[in-house]
Structure 1
Amino acid sequence: MIKKITLLLFIGFLLSPFLFFGQNISLYTQINGRYDFTFIGNTLNPSENTNFSPTFLYTQSSATLNLGVNDRIERAYLYWAGSGPGDTDIKLNGVDMSPDLLSNVVGTANEFTYFSAFKDITTFVQTTGNGTYTLSEFDLNSYVPTYISNATQFAGWAILVVYENPSLTLNQLNIYQGLEALSPNLPLGIIDTMTIQLNNLYLISNTGAKIGFIAWEGDRFIQVSERLSFAANGTTNVLSNTLNPSDNAFNGTNTETNSTNLYNMDLDVYSIENYIVPGTTSATVSLQSGQDYVMLNTVVTKLNSQLPDATIVLENPNSTCNSREVTIDFTVSNLNSTEVLQANTPITFYVGTEAIATTYTQNIIPIGGSENGTITLTIPNAIPLNFTLTVNVDDTGNGTGIRPELIEINNSFQIEIELTVSPTFNNLNSITSCNLGLTRGIFDFSGYATLVSTNPTHLISFHETYNDAVQNINPIVNSSNYDALTTPKEIFVRIDNGCFSVTSFQLLTENCPPVVYNAVSPNGDGSNDTFFIDGLRDIFVNFELLIYNRWGKHLWTGNNNKPDWDGYVENGVGSTLAPAGTYYYILYLNDPNYHEPLTGYLYINR
């Protein structure tokens, strides 16, 4: 019997059904601890497929899970596969099951479609426990008349069960998924091969080492150039056991139950104790066939690897202003491990290649456990304010460790550190405004927020007292129109970058030239009733103002203590009201900046 179909399937776990084409087998998950695995499952073929039989497929079959009393189920994965685009509505023990992942591929010879499906059923199997598992309502009979033409009418299912037992050695289980196919075509003698890389291994003892396979569509009576081999540490060995000869590995058998009638599917487990040595970190599985189609779904390895796996995480770095000390929390974990992590495991902190501190774990960290710690580091002066802090667990300070581990390349963690120092700033000049009276002034210093800063990210605020600036309270909100009631007045500036600096500048006033309004109409209407000089009173407090008529007669003298002149003639003869007309003034400001008096005229209109 020669088959003419190529099949590539990828089976993997997702939360909802997706369609995928074939994909290389790779690591799906890794489980460390006192674990082992087993397979159960069954075919739906009443006999091995040929070009004339079987003419129908069963729609259900059963298998029995029989774990020991101390075995605890950790994981359980369901696979089902067969001819056609896929039956996605099956039942397991009467419970509806739909795939997390459905894969379809088309064969190379007859362009027939095949499928494989996957579902994580861990909770279901944990709840059900030991007993009979029946997969039902799996009906592919409508495809049999078509697929019998090249003898690829098949259906089957399997459950991979991972279980824990306290009496087991500490093992590492690696589950590799993604289905690959051998698909030799006519003429006979053309051999198809595949090699699957098994990475992430670590072996401390080869006792009990084994490898298991879930495969579809292998034929007991086809064994042309068929071979399954395992290679590690430069040595290749052909796998075989009582049920699986070296030239017919995929032959419809279940080595867990010694069944030889698992038609067109294989659940096979091989010992590899003699093919692997302590320290092994990778291996390969190679398959070849000159006629039989073999579709490999899952590879599972169990290796004795009683080692810790130390990892570390840094968080919550904290430093004070203008200090080169950093306090930081760290957590050392032993999660992905098969042995405890001993106390006094060294932890070294680096900046670049410079080791700046070493500490040690305090307690034995159990499998799956962790330990928290805190350390205060003193950062050398030569290290810049911004730097990358690296920590290595199981590092004595020179890059070497003292604990053999499952994984030696996951011991580091990095975090960015920024030491904060008080920011630099630009000095600010005093601001001078016109004296509005009694040294009061209006000021706009909003632009100083930009001028004072040496970094646009710094936060700038203005305050009326030094203590307010230090405590960052009561900021001045009207810096563009600030009313200083008295001057000189010191304004304090806080420059903040996490730390802060405080500087200040002075607000000053000067006596600006007064403005004379020389039109006077003393008629009591509230407008121009007096001779008003703006910027004079309470500014030039010692001023003296003399009023003369046009013939030079002195009529009135004013100062800061007298009201503005309203046309009244002091010591006048007859009328004391100055008549309408032009008058002259002399204004002595008596200010060191104004040596000469201001003179001019005014006009009274009555």
Structure 2
Amino acid sequence: MRRQLFFILSILNLLTVPVFGQDITLYQQFNGHVNYTAIGNTLNQFENGLDRSFCEILPSSEAELSLSGTSHIIAAYLYWAGSGAGDLEVSINDLPVTAQEVYNVEYNDPSNGLLTYFSCFSDITNIVTSLGSTTYTLSNLDISETLTTISGYCNNRTNFAGWSIYVIYEEDTLPINQISLFQGLEIINAVVQEKTIIIDNINVIDDDGAKIGFLAWEGDSGLSFGETLQINGNLISNPPLNPDDNAFNGTNSFTNSNTFYNGDLDVYDIQDNISVGDTSVEIKLTTGEDIGGGVIRADLIILNNIITVLNSQSPDATITIDNSFTPCYSRIVDLDYTVFNLNSNEILPEDTPIAFYANDILIGQSTTQDEIPVDGSESGNISLTIPSDIPNDFTLTLVVDDIGDGSGIVIELNETNNNTQEHLQLTPLPEIIELDPILNCDIGFNTAIYDLTSQLDLIDFDDINTISFFESLDDLMSDINVILNPEFYHNITDPQTIFIKHENDDCSAIYQFNLITENCPPHIPQGFSPNNDTYNDWFNIQGLYDIFEAHELHIYNRYGTLIFVGDNSKRWEGKANRGLNYKNVLLPVGTYFYVLNLNDNNYKIMTGWVYLNR
């Protein structure tokens, strides 16, 4: 590139030259027996810095993709770039491709004004998978209007266009690798002469065979002023194609070509530039050199993507939901899941944490129980209670290697495939149908025996096996503590609510009714015989004791004298407890009179006679 950009340093310090771009960040990671290759070509006729006779670009160019018959294509990405704001629609082998991402950088050239450069990206996996190994031709990339209307590109010889296809493929004979693809658009030039890029989300377990690749634009073989590429502070090169003082010089490492004009598709071995245990790589690009007298000469370099291939020895935890069950009207989800360790070459340790989220809110945690070997799995089960503030319609997310805050404790081959989701719908509690209460006579202490099945006459059902009785709504919802003998049910409170569940094709219908114990009129005998024959030995008023617990019983002799006062704890056994005569001894045979005050507003004082016999 022949851009003779001469700057006086004192003037340069006063200039404000904005440069815009998109930081290069992780786009995708691939793990397993994987590798990558790249093809591409320039649309420049010649290197634009060495030949100033052209401005326009070629209508098309081609490149050959050759993969072995045992390779399986996982992904293929098309990049195209050039001068201007961008052409978002191109063709590959006459098939239309539209940009999914568009990146732009700007350079304010002191002589030619603000100039914009672009790169577009599109996932063309379906195209490359269909066509396979063949010749690929890119066409319909048109920047003619940009080059015609903005003379600055041709004036400073930054008129360029080119393209590349990255192919990630799988092959059983390959070692287990981790491929990390980073992309964006960043620029260096005479004004911004240095760029440091930190790429993370990598895990260096073994540096054997490690490599790093780049796609860059606008580099010139004729401009090598201060141009370096450094990895972790080490100068890297690939001579004679890529010398250490001219890394971006229109070359293609995959074809060993130096005619990829104003583009660089290069790959470097970096096993001596990284260390086992590294989780990030520092990449530093420089350009620009003071050639004397305060004059700076530099290349303009636009970095489009970075790709790393590292041999990995780590587990890869993934998780699936096998089955989820939510009982009707319940906020409890019973979950079966499986944790896998596939596409890995190291065991997944025991106690690997698992987090469970409902609409991104942590609702449960668990761990793996044992070590999971390579290509192994472990099944688990958990019951999750969904908080009341989570709607009935929600997304359940399971994340393995997550301590509950989104962070993990296990270094994995792939840190982006640890979760799975399922959309769940809880069934809300329906309107409960109220049935008439059952009233029964108190048999003591406000209890009675009830036939709960008598309420079934009010319910439309076909099969008695679909009917269940419960003492609480919680028991019904959890389907526990079913009343086993509803025909002879002894109430435990007064009143008491009983619930009926009628199971149907959807969720069950629910009914409720009250059991009410009432005090029925007592039955008063007209005689008794306290002779210790164990039969009728006391004045046994049926339906009185432990029912009318506050009652008072007065017994009088034929002269009207009070001889006995009883209550719920004192029964008349034919003896007097009032007066001096016959106290605590059996009274004479004869007729006696009673006054029974039930102390119940529903009943008047009862009076009558009783005959005491021997």
For 2:334 and 2:121, the matched residues in 1 are separated by 49
**Could you tell me which amino acid in structure 2 is paired with residue 593 of structure 1?**
K
**Could you tell me which amino acid in structure 2 is paired with residue 160 of structure 1?**
Y
In the TM superposition, 1:527-566 aligns within 5 A as: none
- TM (norm. structure 2) is 0.57
Structure-2 residue corresponding to 1:331? 338
For 2:38 and 2:415, the matched residues in 1 are separated by 32
Contact 1:309 1:407 in 2 (8 A): yes
- Is 1:86 the counterpart of 2:79 in the alignment? no
In the TM superposition, 1:211-290 aligns within 5 A as: 211-231=212-232, 236-242=233-239, 243-290=241-288
For 2:88 and 2:354, the matched residues in 1 are separated by 54
**Could you tell me which amino acid in structure 2 is paired with residue 268 of structure 1?**
D
Distance 1:349 1:326, change over 3 A: farther
Q: Deviations over 1:136-187 (max 9, x none)?
A: 22233344352211111111111111122211111000000111111323xx
Distance 1:261 1:592, change over 3 A: closer
Structure-1 residue corresponding to 2:45? 46
For 1:58 and 1:184, the matched residues in 2 are separated by 28
Counterpart pick for 1:159 among 160, 165, 169: 165
Distance 1:462 1:239, change over 3 A: farther
**Could you tell me which amino acid in structure 1 is paired with residue 275 of structure 2?**
V
State percent identity of aligned pairs.
Answer: 38
For 2:116 and 2:402, the matched residues in 1 are separated by 53
Deviation at 1:246, TM superposition (A): 1.3
Distance 1:133 1:593, change over 3 A: same
Q: Deviations over 1:316-374 (max 9, x none)?
A: 78899xxxx99753321235x432647x845679999xx9997326x7452xx754334
Structure-1 residue corresponding to 2:604? 593
Distance 1:98 1:310, change over 3 A: closer
Structure-2 residue corresponding to 1:527? none
For 1:95 and 1:356, the matched residues in 2 are separated by 49
**Could you tell me which amino acid in structure 2 is paired with residue 86 of structure 1?**
G
For 1:101 and 1:356, the matched residues in 2 are separated by 39
Structure-2 residue corresponding to 1:202? 203
Question: Tell me, which stretches of 5 or more residues in structure 2 are unaligned?
Answer: 6-15, 289-297, 357-361, 385-397, 422-436, 442-454, 460-466, 477-492, 501-506, 522-601, 607-614
Counterpart pick for 1:359 among 338, 354, 369: 369
Deviation at 1:261, TM superposition (A): 1.4
User: Which range is displaced more, 92-101 or 202-211?
Assistant: 92-101
For 2:42 and 2:300, the matched residues in 1 are separated by 17
Structure-1 residue corresponding to 2:300? 293
For 2:333 and 2:497, the matched residues in 1 are separated by 28
Contact 2:34 2:171 in 1 (8 A): yes
Contact 2:315 2:374 in 1 (8 A): no
In the TM superposition, 1:71-110 aligns within 5 A as: 71-109=71-109, 110=113
Structure-1 residue corresponding to 2:317? 310
Distance 1:123 1:282, change over 3 A: same
For 2:399 and 2:135, the matched residues in 1 are separated by 52
Contact 1:48 1:54 in 2 (8 A): no
Deviation at 1:468, TM superposition (A): 4.6
In the TM superposition, 1:458-477 aligns within 5 A as: 468-470=469-471
For 2:317 and 2:106, the matched residues in 1 are separated by 46
Contact 2:250 2:261 in 1 (8 A): yes
Structure-2 residue corresponding to 1:564? none
Deviation at 1:258, TM superposition (A): 0.8
- TM (norm. structure 1) is 0.57
Contact 1:41 1:158 in 2 (8 A): yes
**Could you tell me which amino acid in structure 1 is paired with residue 34 of structure 2?**
Y
Structure-2 residue corresponding to 1:35? 34
Distance 1:247 1:373, change over 3 A: same
For 1:412 and 1:98, the matched residues in 2 are separated by 30
Contact 1:43 1:265 in 2 (8 A): yes
Partner SS state of residue 281, structure 1: coil
Distance 1:275 1:314, change over 3 A: same
Distance 1:372 1:39, change over 3 A: same
RMSD value over aligned CA atoms? 5.0
For 1:410 and 1:126, the matched residues in 2 are separated by 23
Structure-2 residue corresponding to 1:174? 180
Distance 1:347 1:329, change over 3 A: farther
Partner SS state of residue 369, structure 2: strand
Aligned length, in residue pairs: 413
Structure-1 residue corresponding to 2:130? 127
Distance 1:139 1:173, change over 3 A: same
Structure-1 residue corresponding to 2:497? 493
**Could you tell me which amino acid in structure 2 is paired with residue 127 of structure 1?**
S
Distance 1:391 1:35, change over 3 A: closer
Contact 1:464 1:491 in 2 (8 A): no
For 1:332 and 1:111, the matched residues in 2 are separated by 54
For 1:126 and 1:319, the matched residues in 2 are separated by 42
For 1:270 and 1:374, the matched residues in 2 are separated by 47
For 1:310 and 1:143, the matched residues in 2 are separated by 49
Partner SS state of residue 245, structure 2: coil
